[in-house]
Amino acid sequence: MRKDEDMTRLGSVEELNIYRESILAETDPNKICVRICMSGCRAYGAEEIRVAFNEEIKEKGLEDRIEIRKTGCHGFCSRAPVIIVDPKGIFYQQLTVDDVEEVVLETLVKGNIIDRLVYVDLKTGKRFPFTRDIPFYKEQTRNVLRNCGKIDPTNISHYIAQDGYSALTKILSTMSPRQAIEIIEKSGLRGRGGAGFPTGKKWHFAQIADNDTKYLICNASEGDPGSFKDRALLEGDPHLILEGMLVAGYAIGAKAGYIYIKAEYSLAVERLKTAILQAEESGLLGENILGSEFSFEIKVKEGAGTYVCGEETAILEAIEGRRGVPRPRPPFPAQSGLWNKPTNINNVETYANIPSIILNGVDWYSNIGSERSKGTKVLSLTGKINNAGLVEVPIGIPLRKVIFDIGGGIPEGKRFKAIQVGGPPGECIPESLLDSLLDFGSLETSGSTMGSGVIIVMDEDTCMVDIARFFLMLAEDESCGFCSPCRLGTRQMKDILDRIVAGKGEDKDIELLTILERVLKDASLCGYGQTCAIPVLTTIRYFQDEYKAHIHQKMCPVGRCKINYNL
């Protein structure tokens, strides 16, 4: 496949289509390609392994026969570092530099499979040499993640070869802005950032706002403990996000967009900036895109990492150069947002869904997911689980299937205890509710949502009172302090939990916690304060016996809390 430097500025939709055809014509589907994760796997030596592969292949004169491709996250993070060898799709895991020579000689040259490097299922002991057969992958529906781990995210021609920017050409050639919005409305796509607000409706509000200047924002301020799916998308397929933003900008009538991202996501920032530069040089961003009347620019705004800037009005303050604190609503951003202009804000995963919906249509998308919630959800699966990683599943899948079929169950044969779904504002769900469906409707019954898509798995050694305390510590630390219910309420709840885990709790403390949770829910200014006590509420609901053990018996049932027994 050709390199980016071969790319020329495209002046029309037809030129982009011709360029895509030329890429595909030059691509040899039978050429050996080693795809190596250069995202999270870097922490496990992936860069050193990549260099070793290149050196070994050069030494043996195999450069014309074998391609070593750096990609984004393959998803199976607990088996890092991983590679996939195409065209057969051989999956090797937990590689070291010492394995490289053998892989080149045995697999790349002779076509043999090295048994000791393939994945072994921990439940059955069965070996799975091919990616397509591994339960972790087989049970997923990878639509948003279809390019992650497959393409080089720093090479725009890789994205274009995978129908990249075809959704953009489709709307520019055949659709009015209103028609583009109608497709998103009919698809049933809901925001993937937390609240689950209908995306098409949000776009419609911005589109009908009476103002010649409008803005678009991508919320990449991912801050939930254990969440990494937005970072993985930006590192593995940045052009997908840019294309989704281009479609949204065209639909609402915006000419400029911002990606607000944490500065500590250095690799994601680097790859985003590279993708933006490539798109500008190719005529896919900037003035008169592909020779049309549509012009759009995208800038990256690096944030300081404060959690509250995940709230959409706090992002507006931060981009405008002020301290990131929420604004009172109304007016909503679609009415008066960035610099008091109508502004549409969606998160990374929401924009990542847009191109495939435009290309494949409403019927295709509506057939994925549940009756109430359409499409797929990308999950960060972490905690006490065998197969931790980046997962994409149809909405409506039972939680039990995610944990035990895809996730492979609990390590060391220990007993499952609970999962915490959706980040700090999410529920702590016991085993008795594991047959609940992962969708907006099922999880909204207690005021929770799928949120960011993080699932933290806990085993029998977890103290649920201590877990509640952990999330309240986070809530207190990350509260912006702008409104007193959140600023004071989180501290009071954390102080009560401190007393309980220290063996100083009283019966009235449980009631006080539930009262304070209602105050935060009813009186806080933004969604952060309104939902941050849900982990406490649900641990009281489902694990009240553990609270009572701390209060009455002055003991932690799992021996986690350092209780002063001499009280």
pLDDT digit string, tens, across residues 278-308 = 999 999 999 999 999 999 999 999 998 788 8
262 and 393 fall within a common domain: no
Residue 84 covered by a domain: yes
Distance CA 365, CA 496 (A): 47
54 and 176 fall within a common domain: no
Gyration radius from the chain CA atoms: 25
Q: Which residues contact 445 (CB under 8 A, 6 or more apart)?
A: none
pLDDT of residue 410: 96
Question: What's the chain's average pLDDT?
Answer: 92
pLDDT of residue 563: 67
The number of distinct structural domains making up the chain is: 4
Question: Six-digit token pair at 295?
Answer: 């012009």
Distance CA 455, CA 105 (A): 40
State yes or no: pLDDT of 349 exceeds 90: yes
Assign 442 a pLDDT band (cuts: 50, 70, 90).
low
What percent of the residues of the chain are helix, what percent strand, and what percent coil, each to the nearest 5? Answer: 45, 15, 40
396 and 508 fall within a common domain: no
* CA-to-CA dists, residue 77 to 80, 254, 380, 408, angstroms: 5, 38, 10, 13
Residue 120 φ then ψ, to 5° = -115, 120
336 and 386 fall within a common domain: no
Q: Helix (H, G, I), strand (E, B), or coil: what is residue 171? A: helix
101 and 199 fall within a common domain: no
**Which CATH number is 411's domain given?**
3.10.20.600
| pLDDT tens-digit readout, 361-391 | 999 999 999 888 899 999 999 999 999 999 9
Name the E strands within 315-469.
343-347, 376-383, 389-394, 416-421, 428-430, 454-459
| Among 459, 478, 503, residue at a domain's last position | 459
State yes or no: pLDDT of 357 exceeds 50: yes
pLDDT of residue 565: 47
Residue 301 covered by a domain: yes
487 and 452 fall within a common domain: no
Give the burial class of 210: count Cβ atoms within 10 A of its Cβ; 0-12 exposed, 13-18 middle, 19 or more buried.
exposed
| Among 408, 424, 459, residue at a domain's last position | 459
- Enter the DSSP assignment of 402: I
245 and 320 fall within a common domain: yes
Residue 209 covered by a domain: yes
- For 312, other C-beta atoms within 10 Å of its C-beta total 28
470 and 454 fall within a common domain: no
246 and 347 fall within a common domain: yes
**Which CATH number is 38's domain given?**
3.40.30.10
Calculate mean pLDDT across residues 416-420. 95
Domain of 423 in residue numbering reads as 376-459
113 and 176 fall within a common domain: no
**Which CATH number is 342's domain given?**
3.40.50.11540
Contact status, residue 282 vs residue 316, Cβ threshold 8 Å: no
Residue 248 covered by a domain: yes
First-to-last CA distance in the chain? 71
Assign 181 a pLDDT band (cuts: 50, 70, 90).
very high
| Among 341, 363, 385, residue at a domain's last position | 363
Residue 17 covered by a domain: no
pLDDT of residue 307: 81
395 and 336 fall within a common domain: no
Q: pTM of the full predicted structure?
A: 0.94
DSSP code string of 381-401: EEES-SS-EEEEEETT-BHHI
| pLDDT tens-digit readout, 516-533 | 999 999 999 888 888 889
Nearest CA-CA partner of 343 in 467, 457, 209? 209
pLDDT of residue 566: 42
Contact status, residue 337 vs residue 405, Cβ threshold 8 Å: no
State yes or no: pLDDT of 447 exceeds 50: no
Distance CA 56, CA 100 (A): 8
Q: Are strands 416-421 and 428-430 parallel, antiparallel or unpaired?
A: antiparallel
71 and 178 fall within a common domain: no
The angle at the Cα of 229, spanning 445 to 289, to the nearest 5 degrees, equals: 110
Inter-helix orientation angle 229-236/348-360, to 10°: 60
